[in-house]
Amino acid sequence: APSDPDLVERARAAKRRLGDRVFVLGHHYQRDEVIQFADVTGDSFKLARDAAARPEAEYIVFCGVHFMAESADILTSDAQQVILPDLAAGCSMADMATAEQVAECWDVLTDAGVADRTVPVSYMNSSADIKAFTGAHGGTICTSSNARRALEWAYGQAEKVLFLPDQHLGRNTAVRELGFSLEDCVVYNPHRPNGGLTPEQLRDARLILWRGHCSVHGRFSLDSVRDVRERIPGVNVLVHPECRHEVVAAADHVGSTEHIIRTLDAAPAGSAWAVGTELNLVRRLSRAHQDKQVVFLDRTVCFCSTMNRIDLPHLVWALESLADGRVVNRIQVDAETEANAKLALERMLALP
């Protein structure tokens, strides 16, 4: 549906009043009505870098989810304030690993005698607490666009990796890009005693995957791929590495949101594509590539509900409040957490 013209005008006016004092970041999964006001759009890696590259902006308005705003706060100066237009915009995957659970897991690894041979690698989609744990234990953060390099770096540091919280990104990267077998990986379930693993399993594993997943990408199935191949002969299946291993194995191309965008830009006219990632992005890609057929991989999967909480009314409210001198919904990570989390984020930014 087209955006409410009154709200569009109010958002424009508030941005004009703020001028260079505000910088609006928009993740690729945001609604159309919101993304039109982003000064820059990107995946979580690009946005983390772009936030850090705007030291003159007093306010960073982050149109994305909570962990992204936390990362922006960690990477920007203390003088800059990061605003999340709706505090309820979280991420179900990030919520699957709490600081207590991860500390308990490390105790299990310690008891099995493997902790000193293990380095943590945490996906960007995690809370600042988890990033701080990672930094304090010599590990790095990764995103879907640098997971391979992060794992290669980590295996240069230690024999084993604890990958959290997305088991699929960890498994897909290790198997597809590092040549691991599925047997090299075990899954640590935080809801079971000792993660549901024996000390022997922990000793034999090369990759310990946290039992977390994305509630959107995790819903694409092998049937989604089979059905679309039947419906559209010759279709290219292009999916995000947060999808399950069997989906990724059945797809033709796999990559982060930035990779998906670049792949479609380079695709020849007349080609057909079924894309397995968030629906707001797929719809925009479908509109942008009228010379190609771009469809959603599975019509029963829906938007990321937390990404969609950032809507135009929330954005207008945040911008107008800032223009009136009221700072609302600031995301601020405490100093100690920030220091350790920053270590882990800076290791990621320094990856080759």
| CA atoms within a 13 Å half-sphere pointing along the CA-CB vector of 57 | 25
Between 214 and 316, name the residue whose CB sits nearer to ligand 13P.
214
Stretch touching ligand 13P by CB under 6 A, among 2-10, 40-48, 55-63, 330-338: 40-48
Work out the number of other CB atoms within 10 angstroms of the CB of residue 328. 16
Binding partner at 144 among ligand 13P, ligand SF4, none, C-beta below 5 to 8 Å by kind: ligand 13P
Tell whether residue 132 is a contact of ligand 13P (CB under 6 A): no
Ligand-binding site membership of 337 (annotated): no
Among 71, 118, 122, 144, binds ligand 13P (CB under 6 A): 144
Binding partner at 256 among ligand 13P, ligand SF4, none, C-beta below 5 to 8 Å by kind: ligand 13P
Ligand-binding site membership of 44 (annotated): yes
Number of residues this chain uses to bind ligand 13P (CB under 6 A)? 10
The burial class, CB within 10 Å (0-12 / 13-18 / 19+), for 313 is middle
Tell whether residue 214 is a contact of ligand 13P (CB under 6 A): yes
Ligand-binding site membership of 257 (annotated): yes
Give the helix ranges, DSSP H, for 53-98. Answer: 66-75
Between 25 and 228, name the residue whose CB sits nearer to ligand 13P.
25
Between 33 and 242, name the residue whose CB sits nearer to ligand 13P.
242
Binding partner at 70 among ligand SF4, ligand 13P, none, C-beta below 5 to 8 Å by kind: none
Q: Which residue from 306, 312, 326, 307 is spatially nearest to 59, judged by alpha carbons?
A: 326
Taking CB positions, which residue lies at the least distance from ligand 13P?
Answer: 43
Tell whether residue 92 is a contact of ligand SF4 (CB under 6 A): yes
Ligand-binding site membership of 240 (annotated): yes
299 to 338: interface string for ligand SF4, x by CB under 6 A? -----x-xx-------------------------------
Binding partner at 151 among ligand 13P, ligand SF4, none, C-beta below 5 to 8 Å by kind: none
The burial class, CB within 10 Å (0-12 / 13-18 / 19+), for 125 is buried
DSSP 214-245: -TTGGG--HHHHHHHHHHSTTPEEEE-TTS-H
Distance between CA atoms of residues 62 and 26, nearest Å: 6
Work out the number of other CB atoms within 10 angstroms of the CB of residue 121. 27
Give the pair of three-digit tokens for residue 83: 């605003």
Among 43, 70, 73, 86, binds ligand 13P (CB under 6 A): 43
Distance between CA atoms of residues 16 and 340, nearest Å: 37
Work out the number of other CB atoms within 10 angstroms of the CB of residue 325. 6
227 to 266: interface string for ligand 13P, x by CB under 6 A? ---------------x-------------xx---------
Ligand-binding site membership of 305 (annotated): no
CB 169 within 8 A of CB 242: yes
CB 244 within 8 A of CB 170: no
Between 214 and 333, name the residue whose CB sits nearer to ligand SF4.
214
- What strands, in cross-sheet order, belong to the sheet with 81-83? 40-42, 22-27, 59-63, 81-83
Tell whether residue 41 is a contact of ligand 13P (CB under 6 A): no
Give the pair of three-digit tokens for residue 62: 């982050």
Q: Which residues bind ligand SF4 (CB under 6 A)?
A: 29, 65, 91-93, 125, 214-216, 278, 304, 306-307
Binding-site ranges for ligand 13P (CB under 6 A): 43-45, 125, 143-144, 214, 242, 256-257
